[in-house]
Amino acid sequence: MGEPGERAVAGQRLGAPESFGVSTLEPGQRPPTAPPGRQVSIRVQMLDDATEVFNISQRAPAKVLFDLVCAHLNLAEGDYFGLEYQDQRKMMVWVDLLKPILKQIRRPKNTILRFVVKFFPPDHTQLLEELTRYLFALQIKHDLACGRLTCNDTSAALLVSHIVQSEIGDFDEVQSFQHLLHNKYMPDQDVLMDKITEYHRKHVGQTPAESDYQLLEIARRLEMYGVRLHPAKDREGTKLSLAVSHTGVLVFQGHTKINAFNWSKVRKLSFKRKRFLIKLRPDLNSVYQDTLEFIMASRDCCKIFWKICVEYHAFFRLFEEPKPKPKPVLFTRGSSFRFSGRTQKQVIDHVKDSEFKKVPFERKHSKIISNSSLTPQDRKRAQVQKEVSSANWTVLQTADSTSSQKCSTGLGPGLPDDALLAGPPGVVVNGQKATLPPGHSPDGHLPSSQTSHTSPLTSPLLTEAGYVRTDDEDEVQRKKFPTDKAYFIAKELLTTERTFLKDLEVITSFQAFLRKEDNMPDSVKTLINSNYEPVYQFHQAFLKEVEQRLEGRSNAHIKGDYQRIGDVMLKNIQLSNMCLTRRHGEVLVELERSCRASRQLEGVCRELEQQKVCYLPLNMFLLRPLHRLLHYRLILEKLCRHYPPTHQDFRDSRAALADISEMVLQLQGTMMKMENFQKILELKKDLTGIQELAVPGREFIRLGCLSKLSGKGLQQRMFFLFSDVLVYTSRGMTSANQFKVHGQLPLYGMTIRESEDEWGVPHSFTLFGQRQSIVVAASCASEMEKWTEDIRMAVDLAERTNGPSTELLSTSLTDSKSPEEGGVEAESEEELSASRSSLERHAAQRGNTTVHVCWHRNTSVSMVDFSVAVENQLSGNLLRKFKNSNGWQKLWVVFTNFSLFFYKSHQDDYPLASLPLLGYSVTVPAETENIQKDYVFKLHFKSHVYYFRSESQYTFERWMEVIRSATCSASRPLVTQRKDPY
């Protein structure tokens, strides 16, 4: 492989030990032994512009060369890359890895192969290695410089600013200006110098790895990201270009995408001479013909594009590499070309399951040394993105100065999997939640029908962009008009009532959905109308009365009229008890029964859950009126504890508390049953391979991550503990990111033994079932204690009762392959038949559920935690700032379901972003953090730090209280007794 001197330079540059061979090889293997015979020297230009020489046998397939390159780079995820060259027709051609190099290149001594990115994934968080992301960043740099990655000036300047930050570090006026003068990163760079330096100033402290992450985050949202245009014409002779992506075949006019044909809609791709044909699946609603025809320059152009389509389809859509077809005995028809290599699913599984030795590498163009000393466990999980720079969303939301619509949401490009700061469940980006203004791409273009499918856990971030930098007017007002604690207790009633009414409006939206659909079950319509319409009308009037008392012209918070909130509560609770029915649990049961019987109704429910207003699962909104009673009781308890018996509002508050406590007592059994039923219904959507989950008598107890010991070592698995069975799963590669069931252990007769000493694995224990036993390990001692205690309790329960059948696994799903696993026919009439199921298409927004948060944060929650979370809900205004920012941004914040949801104001219909809190810690800032404000609490997880500022001591304590209930498991004791507050 090259001359000794050249090899030493390359090894020093990227830090690759000579003995370490990876890429498409299994761990520990060296590159394949080349066939004997004459050697030929091949020159390969790397992405950092260095040229390396590799010696291979003339008869060796090109895969040998490709593996040598990947091993030389110490690249574990080499399958995203390829080798290309310019042939004698001046066309760029991909090297076929199955054929010898000399059969493809006529004059190898005069040809330079280029090692470049071939497959662009929808989400860069799927790239697990820092080196891989660095190489992708170099590809983006090349594409930007040559004009292939076209975008508006604002996006281009931001991209360049991240490249410069990676190469020279923090902004220095002289150094940065000189660097930009001597390095051209894009055409017409000179006119953008001021913009580039303006953004570069804001990247202080950002490491090269973080700069790569931000660069890819911005680039992947651009319309031309990863696009390689192939000139063509339609039947009328209009000049067009064809391209291929992970979603399907794209059609461009100039640099504007005018159409997209998703793989699920494409039945066949073929070419006849210079005609490229796309045969679509029958669709009565489509305006297109069954077969679309494009004219390309030649047969060779058609074939080159057809080949890359075959490879893109196989890489992103299949589970395994397609098997070669047997050669025909007499006649051949069409091309025998097929995709060679691992699919994306195989690459991700291989890297996660393998223990590669992490070797630091040097960035050739960067003056900053990269710290790549991550542990194998870190590499197995999704990479943690650092805090996004404050400029990112500002520049993207104003990306096109000519755009008539602009966004002031203050959203940013996003956080990684284990930051999980996510947008509302109904807006799809990544195959998931939108981070852009409705109807806009980062470049200000209207989106096409193409659906982006990226990590379900990468989503929007509320950045400091667009901050309202306050001058502490609120603080001055507080000091001028000091208020009693009772006012803030009453104000909690007001703020949470506003959120509750918004939640009820989701149900009214559901009613509207039902009304416009024909043939909806009358039982569902009747139950919802009779149970929720009067509740909504009642609480509209109640909220107005509370608002008038606290925020009316009487200036209640100054004059003290808030001291009469008990009379408002008493009157309305008595009215509520007289005029409203409480059959909300019955609605949940009937809706589930009807959805099983009616696919149309099931589709209506899914359609509603995809709306931005439906920021929680629909079933949770149905139970909101029951949960609201718990909030009223809590607020009244606080008022009664605060008031002295002589207070004018004490008697009314005490009477209201007695009434509400009686109502809660009557409904407590129903609440517990319905909460458990609702949770099991939600778990059904997260699991695949389950025959029947919601059966009478089964109770959910705990879910979370444990590592299962197997022949491959410890592998992360998601466990679900029910009252009769323990199920273990792994996250699948479907668009819905559902968890696929691997096995189950019936609880009857199960025993547990701590086995840390036996296996040498910390926090491990063995579960002995009647038919099998498994060894698992928790992430820490407290997690191990929670699991073992809950399992022992469940085992005792299973042995005392005759529980439901433990046969959970679906025999139809366990052994059968999905359509995507079956391979595709690699003839000239290419069959591209993989399509997602209806559930997967409609559940793409479910990548941010509690199950997925536990998976990425490596933690667990119990049913007791969920029950506590129902009562610990809170709403109100908070000021928020980042670790390195100065300004405070005023936000309306809703805490529910272990998450913070962020709004611009309480009048907004849906959240701008959310922050799941499982795994976070909540503390007060230390003196060294220099937060010189009152009532500030701090949320932090790994490197992510947020400061929140409340308006009073009471609200500060309440936010700390409810957030601790989400960040610290509240599952002990299992049964809690409520004390009388008097």
pLDDT, one tens digit per residue, over 183-214 is 999 988 888 999 999 999 999 989 999 999 99
pLDDT, one tens digit per residue, over 150-170 is 999 999 999 999 999 999 999
Poorest-pLDDT segment among 16-20, 861-865, 911-915: 16-20
Q: Whole-number mean pLDDT of the chain?
A: 76
| Own/partner long-range contacts of 227-234 (Cβ < 8 Å, ≥24 apart) | 227/148, 227/252, 228/148, 228/308, 230/296, 230/301, 230/304, 230/305, 231/296, 231/297, 231/301, 232/276, 232/294, 232/295, 232/296, 233/294, 233/295, 233/296, 234/293, 234/294, 234/295
Q: Taking the CB of residue 277, how many other CB atoms lie within 10 A of it?
A: 18
Which pLDDT value is given to residue 112? 92
Least confident of 176-185, 325-334, 396-405, 861-870: 396-405
State the average pLDDT over residues 506-513.
85
* pLDDT tens readout for residues 283-310: 655 655 688 999 999 998 999 999 999 9
DSSP 697-722: T--EEEEEEEEEEETTEEEEEEEEEE
Sorting pLDDT into bands at 50, 70 and 90, what band is 62?
very high
240: its two tokens:
């067009």
Pairing type for strands 687-688 and 739-746 reads parallel
Write down the pLDDT at residue 383.
38
Least confident of 1-10, 47-56, 345-354, 628-637: 1-10
- Which pair of structure tokens corresponds to residue 435? 């981070």
Over 70: is that where the pLDDT of 641 sits?
yes
Rounded CA Rg of the chain: 30
The whole-number pLDDT of residue 432 equals 34
Using alpha carbons only, give the angle 755, 758, 760 rounded to the nearest 5 degrees: 95
Better pLDDT: 659 or 803: 659
**Which residues lie closer than 8 Å to 902 by C-beta, 6 or more apart?**
462, 880, 891, 892, 893, 911, 912, 913, 914, 915
CA atoms of 244 and 705, how far apart (whole Å): 37
CB within 8 A of 947, min separation 6: which ones?
A: 880, 881, 882, 883, 925, 931, 936, 937, 938, 939
**DSSP label of 234:** -
Residue 307 pLDDT: 92
Residue 956 has pLDDT above 70, yes or no: yes
- Among candidate residues 717, 887, 858, the one with its CA nearest the CA of residue 384: 858
Instruction: Report helix angle 584-597 to 522-551, nearest 10.
Output: 140
328 three-class SS: coil
Lowest mean per-residue pLDDT among 43-47, 92-96, 416-420, 549-553: 416-420
Q: How confident is the model at residue 949 (pLDDT cuts 50, 70, 90)?
A: very high
pLDDT value of residue 886: 76
Among 528-532, 774-778, 814-818, 910-914, the minimum mean pLDDT is found in 814-818
What are the tens digits of pLDDT across the range 241-268? 999 999 899 999 988 889 999 888 888 8
| Residue 725: CB atoms within 10 Å | 24
- The least confident of 383-387, 575-579, 928-932 is 383-387
Number of other residues whose CB lies within 10 A of the CB of residue 22 = 26
pLDDT of residue 353: 73
Q: How far apart are the C-alpha atoms of 963 and 916, rounded to whole Å?
A: 10
- Output the pLDDT for position 404: 33
What's the pLDDT tens digit per position in 824-875?
Answer: 333 332 222 222 333 333 333 444 688 988 988 889 999 998 888 888 899 9
Q: Do 274 and 263 contact (CB within 8 A), yes or no?
A: no
pLDDT above 80 for 435: no
- Which tops the pLDDT comparison, 588 or 33? 588
How many residues can be counted in the chain? 982
pLDDT interval class at 454 (50, 70, 90): very low
Among 125-134, 144-153, 282-291, which is the least confidently predicted range? 282-291
Residue 100 has what DSSP assignment?
B
Q: Which among 169, 266, 234, 262 is positioned nearest to 208, based on CA atoms?
A: 169
The answer to whether residue 180 scores a pLDDT higher than 60 is yes
Residue 957 has pLDDT above 90, yes or no: yes
E runs forming strands in 13-69? 39-45, 51-57
DSSP string, 351-396: HHHS-PPP-----TT-SS-------HHHHHSPPPPPPPPTTHHHHH
Residue 357 pLDDT level (bands cut at 50, 70, 90) = low
Whether the per-residue pLDDT at 133 is higher than 70: the answer is yes
Query: Residue 371: its pLDDT value, please?
Result: 43
Cα separation, 116 vs 918, in Å, equals 39
